[in-house]
Structure formats: structure tokens, C-alpha cells
Structure 1
């Protein structure tokens, strides 16, 4: 596809955000978490205007570039002309989270088989792996209300999320939010791994659960593991991997 560059139309800060968000879309595709074209990753552009970047609806995640990302307001109206459509219905969940959580620069939502499978289990996430302890330390649940395109669902979703960074959408999928794109991606990596491990463990024998006190101390463990950097600790390595495979996301 020949997509005109928008780098000259935006600030350096927005351009870097576009590059990082495009990288996030490519990484989600690379890890097999995409659902054709039917999920979204959004990022809030710094500033008081409440402007966001979201994927052009209809492109596969491994096609997305910095310039193809669509800039919208909080009602999903385009702010820079784009040949690509946006999906206002798909932005309902994301706009709800961004509106309630000023600390959430990035919101990632997936429909993976493992994530949907665990979301359909009454027990939810079980404390049976190291990965699960990080999720359980900041996990919330939201009951299924049908395809999420109704604004009336937003207040209930916001109330259920609260201050959590991991949200299990019952019978639907997974959601993470973070203060940066890197933080949201690392959270989703841990969330997805937690669900895959749980399903694999449930196929075997009796499960051994982690002691609740370990979950309570997991924030300090994460700080130590990432040298206090959170997702930023792993992000440069992920970018290097992407650049070796295909750096076209940067355009």
C-alpha cells in the first residue's frame, strides 16, 4: 500500500507515539494475538485536547504503519484526513477507559482463544503461576453485555475497571491499560501468558496455588525485575526484533 506520510503534519512527540503504536500493532500480530481486523489498540496523544490514535479499520495489524494510524477526538471523529475508515463501535471500550483513567496512555484489547477461554471460566484467573501473580495484583472483571458498541455500557465498565490495569471482559477477552505503550504491551504479554498457562495446567493433574502473601508483594518483585522501568525495560529489545524483521511500521 502507498500511504502518504503524515510526519510533516504532526509534532515530533506525536510522531514518536505513532511509531511506537504501530510497533505495538506489529508485535501483537507477531505474537498471534490479533483477531483479523476486529480488535483495537489506542493511544492518547499528550495534551489537554483528549485526542487519540487508533488503527485504520480494515487493515491487518501487520500492515499498520505510523502514518496509517488515524487521529480522532474522544467521539472518534477524524482530526486528520485519512482514506481509511475508523470503527466508532470499536472505540467504545477504549474511550471509556481513557475517559476514566488519565493515567492510561495506551489501551490494548484482544480476543485470543486463551483469553476468551479463561474469561468464560467462573473461577477467572487462578493463582497458579508466577505470571498470574502479576495479573492478580491489579485485576478486575466486567460482565458480558453483548457486542460493546453502546455508550450506556461505559459507566459500568469504568466502575468495574476502577484503578486496575488488567481487565477480564467476561465471555469476551482481555484488556490492559498502561501509562505508556510499552507498559500496556508488557501487561498484555503477562496476561495472555497467564491464560495460556492456566489452560495447559488445567489439562493435567491437581493444581498447586500460590500463597496469597506472594501476590501482595508482587509490585516490588516487578520493580526489581524491570529495574524500576516497567515495560520500558523490554521495549528496546522488542523494537530491535521488529526492525530486523520489517521496519516498514516506521513509515
Structure 2
């Protein structure tokens, strides 16, 4: 059985970087807990304050093996900047580097491949505003068509253009991503998107007509959610509860 190197960076990085490492490790652990991971694939990244440096998962580790210390520090080219015994998946970081490069507000980017999100992203019309959870991503959503494995540098500019100012990017035939000014904000956006897609798949499976929501209600919710569901309320108030949950489940991420 392969034993992972045991790293301890707690007293070797700034307090600010350590807290970001904790937040990001928790995000990985919760993605595993909720069944959003894809073996060793998919990625969640976070930008270090004031720098073009990013933390991302080591390639080959399952999400429930991620710790604050074994996260790998890279630049926008995916080059490893710290003395890590691990490597990263360069292809996996292509999408993240494109988003971080184009959006100053994209401090955290979550890119996953859950079944429900793949299904909804691939449906003609994509995500439909048929439930309250769908209201939140639907108010700031974009689409980028599948171009094969994310190894083509030329795709980055098209991805950036398609994303625009949206906070959610659906990737038909592939998955999706959410971004936020913090790990908590990106996580809450993903949680809403995931739940909305689960509801849509279940609703469509009934084969019954669905009750549409009036456009004026959609417009009202768009205004409401910008004030009550993201930023200080959506991300910052809910995230401490997620941290506490992660500690209860398995505190080994904090190493």
C-alpha cells in the first residue's frame, strides 16, 4: 500500500495562506462527502491574496486524502512553486488558469463532473428555472461548448469569452464550474447548482408538465438573491457551518 508523504506546512506559511489551505481542503473533503468527486479527477483552486499564485490538489490523490499541507502551489502556467513531492494535472489546471487569468474576482474556482450536472448541461436549453435553487445560478450563467479534453491553449480565450461576467459556467457534455470571491461563496454557488440540476433531472423523469415561473418573478428573485444569498450572507455566514461539519466528519484535513 502506497503511503502518502506526511507534510506539515502550518508554521511554514503565513496565517492567511494557512487559512486558505484549510478552506480549500475542506471544500475538497465536502465534495467527497456529498459525492461530487470523480475519483482523482476534477479540481478546485484558490488564489493567494495579492499574488498570481494558486493552490490546487495534487494529481493522484483522492479528494478525501486532501489536506491543507499537501495542496500544491502553482502559477498561471501550472508550474509548481513550492517544494512539493507531488505533481499536478496540467490539463486539469488549464480551465482554472483561464478563469483566474480573466477574472480578478475569481479567487476560487470549482470545476466538477457530477452526473446530474452533466445531464442538464447537455440538455437543449440547459438549466431551467423550475425551482428556487435554480434561481440563483440561473441569474448569472453562461455556456461553453465541448471541445474535447482541456489541453488546447487556444481554447482558453474562447472559454474566457463565453464566461464573460457570469459566476456559473455550464460545460455541455462535460460538467460545470462556479467561481467566487471566496471558497465559501464558490461552494454555495456549486451547492445551489447541484441541487437545481438534481431537481430538474427528477422533474423531467416524471414526464409530467412543469409549472413555469413568471418572468417578473424571475426578475424579482434575481434582485433579491444579489442581496441575500451571495457574498457576506451566502458564502461567509454558511461557510463556518461547513467548516464545523468537516471537522466533525474527519479533522485530518487540517494537517
TM-score normalised by length of structure 1: 0.96
Give, in angstroms, the shift of residue 241 of structure 1: 1.1
Distance, in Å, in 1 between the alignment partners of 2:23 and 2:154 is 32
Give yes or no for contact 1:133–1:214 (8 Å, CA) kept in 2: no
**Partner deviation per Cα, 1:138-173 (whole Å, 9 max, x = no partner):** 000001101111110001000000000010001100
Instruction: Give 2:237's aligned residue.
Output: 233
**Structure 1: stretches of 5+ with no match in the other structure:** none
Report the 3-state secondary structure (helix = DSSP H, G, I; strand = E; otherwise coil) of the residue aligned with 1:7.
coil
Instruction: Give 1:206's aligned residue.
Output: 209
Greater mean deviation of Cα atoms: 6-15 or 19-28: 6-15
Give, in angstroms, the shift of residue 226 of structure 1: 6.8
Distance, in Å, in 1 between the alignment partners of 2:43 and 2:230 is 27
The answer as to 2:249 corresponding to 1:242 is no
Instruction: Give 2:57's aligned residue.
Output: 55
Instruction: Give 2:173's aligned residue.
Output: 171
**Partner deviation per Cα, 1:178-221 (whole Å, 9 max, x = no partner):** 00000000000000111110000001110112112222222443
TM-score normalised by length of structure 2: 0.95
Give, in angstroms, the shift of residue 8 of structure 1: 2.7
The 3 A distance-change label for structure 1 pair 82 and 30 is same
Distance, in Å, in 2 between the alignment partners of 1:232 and 1:195 is 24
Give yes or no for contact 2:135–2:222 (8 Å, CA) kept in 1: no
Give yes or no for contact 1:104–1:179 (8 Å, CA) kept in 2: yes
**Partner deviation per Cα, 1:82-118 (whole Å, 9 max, x = no partner):** 1111111100000000000000100000110001011
Report the 3-state secondary structure (helix = DSSP H, G, I; strand = E; otherwise coil) of the residue aligned with 1:90.
helix
Distance, in Å, in 2 between the alignment partners of 1:192 and 1:225 is 16
Aligned residues: 250
Instruction: Give 2:126's aligned residue.
Output: 124
Report the 3-state secondary structure (helix = DSSP H, G, I; strand = E; otherwise coil) of the residue aligned with 1:46.
coil
Report the 3-state secondary structure (helix = DSSP H, G, I; strand = E; otherwise coil) of the residue aligned with 2:143.
strand
The 3 A distance-change label for structure 1 pair 103 and 226 is closer
- Alignment RMSD (CA, Å): 1.3
The 3 A distance-change label for structure 1 pair 39 and 195 is same
Trace 1:92-111 onto structure 2 (pairs within 5 A).
92-111=94-113
Give yes or no for contact 2:228–2:234 (8 Å, CA) kept in 1: no
Instruction: Give 1:24's aligned residue.
Output: 27
Instruction: Give 2:142's aligned residue.
Output: 140
Distance, in Å, in 2 between the alignment partners of 1:237 and 1:183 is 13
The 3 A distance-change label for structure 1 pair 64 and 214 is same
**Structure 2: stretches of 5+ with no match in the other structure:** none
Runs of 4+ in 1 over 6 A off after TM superposition: none
Distance, in Å, in 2 between the alignment partners of 1:95 and 1:227 is 23
Give yes or no for contact 2:22–2:254 (8 Å, CA) kept in 1: yes
Give yes or no for contact 2:26–2:246 (8 Å, CA) kept in 1: yes
**Partner deviation per Cα, 1:114-137 (whole Å, 9 max, x = no partner):** 010111101101111111111110
Distance, in Å, in 2 between the alignment partners of 1:120 and 1:180 is 28
